């Protein structure tokens, strides 16, 4: 691909989502943007980018940025964080919040919504309807296409096969053609919003649990620190932050301290 | 732990056997439910069975019913692996006593995750 197009794309990704596109990742660009270029009838990825350079177009720009980021996810991803939520964290929070009877959970890079719905199903299964409580799950992503998918809550068999225990499948999903759709009562526990973590957040209530899993990896060093600083500011001081299994927080120990619960690491903000 | 793989397709038996032995199981295989029951009877090291639904001689559903009717096999975990993907089928299998249900086609990761739910592998 043409060097000037790669440089342009790098700065676009930085501005759009604080995403770091390293030198030498041209192959990645071709793999990610190829399908978009074909779908929109451009001769090549270069043609698509050249066009965008000469004629700024917000919609195309957004599509390009969204296509550059992986949205791979699954229900109950990594299994043990959810085990820990069930065994330790929810019982703890339900005790601590007995006064306010409010629980707020944020899936901050929700992709197609599996993380948020996993939490909703887990709550429903093990803690019932928590009568008299106000329980809200916010699910957000920078990609509006992902938010639309997540709202719909409809998944292919392959997506379901990954991660959904069979007894939950029969209780919380209905077949919808070849897809499986999350039942209405679970969908209603989640509010969906488009939020770019790399820019200042819109007003949000303080959260009891934040999931920022497998998204920090896309940010450059400075952006990541800024994002974590804002997340710390939006998390209650006895709340819990989850990051991805492969993401280390050592460099941010001034913002968060680590809690090791069974096999799960989570983080609390330093105040 | 030993796993019994029951499928009438040789290709499927070999795919599942390969995945399971890579995960660390000893594998024995059978081509239908009746043969599966025989394997189970003669080998008390089998702790897990992966069984297809549609099989000659004795189908997977009948196999599950037979196994669950015998208290000697209470500790044996059962996973149905099937092309049947209707919700009613999954329910029926769960009611009969399977621990998990995998819809074909599946990936290796699917199997590993289902095993993790049952505490039989690391997620
Ligand atoms: C690999 S998925 C992770 C999904 C889920 N959290 C998980 O761990 O499985 C990464 C998601 O981060 C989103 N993302 C990328 N940059 C973002 C940003 N600046 N703000 C919010 N979300 C972003 C992508 O759209 C994508 O859906």
Give the pLDDT score at B37: 97
Residues linked to residue A104 through DSSP beta bridges, in sequence order:
A136
Give the pLDDT score at B96: 96
Domain boundaries, chain B: 2-117
Per-residue pLDDT of chain A (271 residues; tens, 9 = 90+): 899 999 999 998 888 766 778 788 888 899 889 988 998 889 999 999 999 999 888 888 888 988 888 888 999 998 899 999 999 999 999 999 999 999 999 999 999 999 999 999 999 999 998 989 999 999 999 988 899 999 999 999 889 988 899 999 999 999 998 899 999 999 999 999 999 999 999 999 999 999 999 999 888 888 899 999 999 999 999 999 999 988 989 999 999 999 999 989 999 999 8
Round to whole Å and give the CA distance between B9 and A259.
48
Most ligand 1 atoms within 8 A of CB, residue of A15, A105, A109, A111 to mutate: A109
Question: What CATH number matches the domain at A80-269, 3.10.620.30, 3.40.50.150, 3.40.50.300, 3.40.190.290?
Answer: 3.40.50.150
Please, what is the angle between helix A45-54 and helix A26-39, to 10°?
A: 80
Pocket of ligand 1 (CB under 6 A): A 17-18, 69-73, 77, 109, 111, 115, 141-143, 146, 196-198, 211, 213-215, 218, 244
The answer to whether B42 and B71 are in contact (CB under 8 A) is no
Most ligand 1 atoms within 8 A of CB, residue of A12, A66, A69, A245 to mutate: A69
Give the pLDDT score at A40: 86
ipTM computed for the complex? 0.85
Which tokens go with A224? Answer: 């990541």
Give the pLDDT score at A190: 98
Tens of pLDDT, residue by residue over B45-84, are: 999 999 999 999 999 999 999 999 999 999 999 999 999 9
Round to whole Å and give the CA distance between B74 and B88.
24
Inspect the interface and report whether the beta carbons of A169 and B123 lie closer than 8 Å.
Answer: no
Query: For B2-117, which CATH class?
Result: alpha beta
A95 exposure class (CB count in 10 Å sphere: 0-12, 13-18, 19+): exposed
Query: Residue B56: helix, strand or coil by DSSP?
Result: coil
Q: For A3-68, CATH number?
A: 1.10.155
Q: Residue B118's closest chain A neighbor by CA? A: A165
Q: Give which of B100, B90, B102, B103 is closest to A174, Cα–Cα.
A: B90
Inspect the interface and report whether the beta carbons of A161 and B116 lie closer than 8 Å.
Answer: no
Round to whole Å and give the CA distance between A174 and A19.
37
Residues 104-163 of A with CB under 8 A from B: 157-158, 160-163
Residue A143, CA distances (Å) to A66, A67, A70, A78, A149 in order: 6, 9, 11, 23, 10
* Average pLDDT of every residue of chain B: 94
Inspect the interface and report whether the beta carbons of A157 and B107 lie closer than 8 Å.
Answer: no
Answer whether residue B119 shows pLDDT above 90.
no
Give the pLDDT score at A173: 97
Query: Residue B103: helix, strand or coil by DSSP?
Result: strand
Which pTM does this prediction carry?
0.87
The answer to whether A132 and A141 are in contact (CB under 8 A) is no
Give the pLDDT score at A109: 97
Q: Does B83 touch chain A (CB under 8 A)?
A: no
Q: Does B85 touch chain A (CB under 8 A)?
A: yes
Inspect the interface and report whether the beta carbons of B90 and A158 lie closer than 8 Å.
Answer: no
Mutation target to probe the B interface, by most B beta carbons within 10 A, among A80, A164, A166 is A166
Cβ atoms within 10 Å of A38's Cβ, excluding its own: 13
The answer to whether B46 and B76 are in contact (CB under 8 A) is yes
Domain boundaries, chain A: 3-68, 80-269
Inspect the interface and report whether the beta carbons of B100 and A175 lie closer than 8 Å.
Answer: no
Residue carrying structure tokens 């440089």: A7
Spell out which residues of chain A touch residue B85, defining contact as CB-CB under 8 Å: 157
Q: Does B86 touch chain A (CB under 8 A)?
A: yes
Inspect the interface and report whether the beta carbons of A166 and B107 lie closer than 8 Å.
Answer: no
Round to whole Å and give the CA distance between A212 and A81.
13
Round to whole Å and give the CA distance between B39 and B50.
13
Q: Which residues contact A52 (CB under 8 A, 6 or more apart)?
A: A8, A12, A60, A61, A64
Q: Residue B94's closest chain A neighbor by CA? A: A167
Give the pLDDT score at B123: 58
Of A79, A162, A167, Cβ closest to residue B94: A167
Q: Residue A157's closest chain B neighbor by CA? A: B103
Most ligand 1 atoms within 8 A of CB, residue of A114, A142, A247 to mutate: A142
Spell out which residues of chain A touch residue B87, defining contact as CB-CB under 8 Å: 169-170, 173-175
């Amino acid at each position: 691909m043409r060097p000037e197009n790669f440089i342009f794309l790098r700065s676009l990704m930085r501005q759009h989502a604080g995403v770091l596109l390293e030198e030498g990742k041209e192959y990645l660009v071709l793999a990610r943007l190829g399908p978009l270029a074909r779908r929109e009838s451009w001769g090549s990825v270069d043609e698509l980018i050249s066009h965008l350079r000469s004629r700024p177009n917000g919609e195309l720009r957004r599509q390009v940025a969204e296509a550059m980021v992986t949205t791979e996810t699954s229900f109950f991803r990594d299994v043990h964080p959810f085990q820990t939520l069930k065994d330790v964290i929810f019982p703890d929070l339900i005790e601590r919040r007995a006064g306010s009877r409010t629980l707020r959970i944020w899936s901050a890079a929700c992709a197609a919504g599996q993380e948020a719905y996993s939490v909703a199903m887990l709550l429903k299964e093990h803690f019932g309807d928590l009568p008299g409580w106000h329980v809200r799950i916010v699910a957000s992503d920078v990609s509006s296409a992902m938010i639309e998918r997540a709202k719909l809550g409809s998944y292919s068999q392959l997506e379901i096969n990954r991660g959904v225990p069979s007894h939950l499948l029969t209780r919380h999903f209905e077949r919808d053609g070849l897809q499986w759709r999350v039942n209405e009562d679970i969908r209603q526990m989640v509010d969906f919003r488009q939020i770019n973590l790399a820019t200042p957040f819109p007003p949000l209530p303080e959260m009891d649990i934040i999931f920022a899993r497998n998204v920090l990896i896309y940010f450059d060093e400075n952006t990541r620190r800024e994002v974590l600083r804002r997340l710390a500011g939006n998390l209650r001081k006895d709340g819990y932050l989850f990051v991805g299994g492969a993401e280390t927080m050592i460099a941010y120990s001034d913002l968060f301290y680590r809690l090791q619960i069974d096999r799960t690491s989570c983080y609390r903000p330093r105040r | 732990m030993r796993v019994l793989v029951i499928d009438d397709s040789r290709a499927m038996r070999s795919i599942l056997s390969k995945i399971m032995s890579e995960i660390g199981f000893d594998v024995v295989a059978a081509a239908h439910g009746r043969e599966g029951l025989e394997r189970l009877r003669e080998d008390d090291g089998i702790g897990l069975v992966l069984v297809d639904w549609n099989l000659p001689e004795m189908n997977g559903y009948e196999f599950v019913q037979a196994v669950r009717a015998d208290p000697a096999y209470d500790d044996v975990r059962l996973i149905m692996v099937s092309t049947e993907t209707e919700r009613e089928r999954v329910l029926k299998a769960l009611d009969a006593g399977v621990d998990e249900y995998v819809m074909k086609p599946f990936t290796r990761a699917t199997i590993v995750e289902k095993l993790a739910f049952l505490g039989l592998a690391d997620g």
